């Protein structure tokens, strides 16, 4: 069953994308659009996260724990598939300067309603449970963004 699902992921091209540094938004938008050009989806709703200049930061920086992120993403692929939809995601690793993008996700679906609802749930669950750690970069130093971070589901088990 697990192996069948992995083949399914390969077949539909549902693989999360990780890039070193800022995302090339236009290239990723265009790639995803082309990947689904013949899939007969009526709606394509992307979400783009861009680093804002605030509190004197030069950049944000990200650490990712890939095995758990992949399992999290694959559970969303499966959830979307049951609704006839498809999710995609790209994220940056390392430093991402202000005014560039660190995160893009998207939902494709036959009709708009499923995609509009799913992009909301998908992005919110991403913020709460994707194993990614954010740091402010100031004067070249990385400072953990603790006050903006959220404990994942099930936190405190070992306390």
CA 148 to centroid of chain Cα atoms: 17
Of positions 6, 128, 138, 141, contacts other proteins by CB under 8 A: 128
* Site membership for other proteins, residue 121 (CB under 8 A): no
Minimal distance in Å, beta carbon 45 to other proteins? 16
Find the part of the chain contacting other proteins (CB under 8 A) among 11-19, 31-39, 114-122, 124-132: 124-132
Tokens 């091209």 appear where? 13
User: Of the two residues 41 and 45, which places its CB atom closer to other proteins in the complex?
Assistant: 45
Closest by CA to 88, choosing from 109, 64, 68, 67, is 109
Return the number of the residue (74 or 110) whose C-beta is nearest other proteins: 74
Q: Where are the beta strands (DSSP E) in 21-144?
A: 43-50, 59-64, 86-97, 101-109, 132-138, 141-144
Q: What is the DSSP letter of 146?
A: G
149 binds other proteins (CB under 8 A): yes
- 122 lies in the site for other proteins, by CB under 8 A: no
Quick one: tokens of 137?
Answer: 């970069």
Measured between alpha carbons, how far is 74 from 71 in angstroms, rounded to an integer? 5
Interface residue list for other proteins (CB under 8 A): 49, 62-65, 67-68, 71, 91, 102-103, 123, 126-135, 144-146, 148-159
């Amino acid at each position: 069953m697990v192996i069948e699902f992995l083949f399914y992921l390969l077949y539909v091209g549902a693989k999360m994308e990780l890039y070193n540094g800022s995302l090339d938004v236009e290239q990723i938008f265009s790639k995803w659009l082309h990947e689904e050009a013949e899939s007969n989806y009526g709606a394509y709703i992307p979400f783009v996260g861009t680093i804002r200049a605030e509190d004197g930061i030069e950049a944000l920086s990200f650490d990712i724990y890939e095995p758990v992120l992949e399992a999290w993403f694959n559970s969303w692929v499966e959830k979307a598939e049951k609704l006839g939809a498809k999710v995609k995601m790209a994220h940056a690793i390392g430093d991402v300067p202000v005014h560039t993008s660190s995160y893009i996700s998207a939902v494709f679906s036959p009709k708009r309603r499923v995609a509009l609802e799913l992009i909301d749930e998908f992005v919110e669950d991403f913020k709460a449970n994707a194993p990614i750690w954010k740091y402010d970069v100031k004067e070249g130093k990385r400072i953990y963004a603790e006050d903006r971070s959220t404990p994942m589901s099930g936190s405190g088990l070992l306390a």
